[in-house]
Amino acid sequence: MSSKSSISDALDRFRQCSKRALNPSLVDFIEQVQSYDYIPEITRVAEDMGLHASTIWKFMNVLKEKGFRFTADVDILRLGLEAVTLVLDEYMEYEEVFKSTLRFYAPLIPWGTFLIYLVPRGMSETLINSLAGILPREPREIIKLTYSIPAKPNLRKYYDPKTNVIRLDWDELLNVIKTSPKEAIPSGALRRGKFDEIDLFIIRELEKNPFISLKKITEDLNKEFKPVTSINYIRVLRHFKNHIEARGVIRGVKLISAPLKEHASIYIAAILRGNPAELHRVGKALVAHPYFDSAFFNPIEGIGLILGSLPADEVFNFSIFLDKLREDRIVREWSYYMLDYTRKRMLTIPYVILSEPINELVEYFKRYGKDRVVGDVLAT
């Protein structure tokens, strides 16, 4: 009986895998959408690909049926935010965690919790001090990160539509890093524009669906905020054009490639230390690969964080890869944590981050046992 069950499970996984396969036309479409450094109109994508707009919408619907989605790539530096990573030796269930400014949650393997919070620049210490009494004990590790690299998976290079397999060659990735040019990276000294809850609400909706209309965002905003006087479309359009688009907060659209990854994956959080320019080269090369989702850095402190999911049989090879980076003096030190792939959560940016004091949001959580506002789950 168990043998029949295992065969049935294997067949079901095969069917699911086949369902998520991408043909060359879909790969070309994804690469075209990801090629812009802004959110493109569907008509613009159709024109650049020499196709009718209805064909582009058909591609969008096919991807949706396969479980894929796009998200807006948000530049936290230009938004005036920084990321605070906390590594805890104690396990906290998602329901127990303060979530009003939470960006990422996952249990540590074998035991613990990995958290990333977004806070206004310069407010990391305020968050850490405010969380005293909520966290089960002092974090093992606290990392402040001020800059994120645009992360768009290069499917043309690393995905084979014929076999529905993501190609991974560690030596090739190492060579890409060694031969890529060094680039000037932001120091974190960008002047922060003034953003409000309307701006962050728009960004939250664009993270969930970058092709949503501003009219729909206006409707949803009024439903959630319930203002005495309705917020009109023109006001929302002005916020998007003048505050978000003009300031380069959105760096384009990227695919959430989770459906391509194997069911038995292990999520990895790698912490790298070394020369900022070298760390930037490593991060830029890795996030072009579909197995890696994001890269954060603090150029002043020379530290970086790479997040991604790997097949279980590639985790040790990743260790060898990181050690080669150390031997070649591309990084000075490295370490990584293994996270629970099935329980992780990536959240949208909640719209209260820049408008309400962090300590008051935490105090509200302590007092009432719930959060003032929670971002929506972007990816699990």
How do residues 286-299 score in pLDDT, each as one tens digit?
999 999 999 999 99
Same domain? 12 vs 105: no
- 8 domain residue, yes or no: yes
- pLDDT at site 11: 40
The number of domains in the chain is 2
- 208 domain residue, yes or no: no
Same domain? 30 vs 96: no
Same domain? 95 vs 179: yes
- 239 domain residue, yes or no: no
- 364 domain residue, yes or no: no
Please name every residue paired with 272 in a beta bridge, in sequence order, or none if there are none: 304, 334
Same domain? 177 vs 139: yes
- pLDDT at site 181: 85
Same domain? 92 vs 153: yes
Tell me which of 42, 67, 92 is where a domain ends. 67
- 316 domain residue, yes or no: yes
Same domain? 25 vs 117: no
Same domain? 112 vs 13: no
- CA 351 to CA 101: how far, in whole Å? 9
- CA 282 to CA 279: how far, in whole Å? 5
Give the domain extent around 29. Answer: 2-67
- pLDDT at site 14: 43
- pLDDT at site 258: 81
- pLDDT at site 19: 65
- pLDDT at site 261: 76
- CA 326 to CA 112: how far, in whole Å? 27
CATH of the domain at 290: 3.30.70
Tell me which of 67, 92, 124 is where a domain ends. 67
- CA 208 to CA 276: how far, in whole Å? 31
Positions in the chain whose pLDDT score sits under 70: 1-19, 186-193, 262-263
- CA 178 to CA 112: how far, in whole Å? 35
- pLDDT at site 192: 56
Contacts of 356 by beta carbon, 8 Å cutoff, 6+ apart:
372
Tell me the two tokens of residue 136. 């089960």
Q: Is 14 exposed, middle or buried (0-12, 13-18, 19+ CB in 10 A)?
A: exposed
- pLDDT at site 191: 56
Q: H or E stretch including 316?
A: helix 315-327
- pLDDT at site 10: 43
- CA 58 to CA 68: how far, in whole Å? 14
Relative to beta strand 113-120, strand 81-88 is antiparallel
- pLDDT at site 167: 94
Relative to beta strand 333-339, strand 102-109 is antiparallel
Tell me which of 67, 102, 123 is where a domain ends. 67
Same domain? 44 vs 173: no
- 377 domain residue, yes or no: no
Same domain? 56 vs 132: no
Same domain? 33 vs 131: no
pTM, two decimal places:
0.91
Same domain? 56 vs 104: no
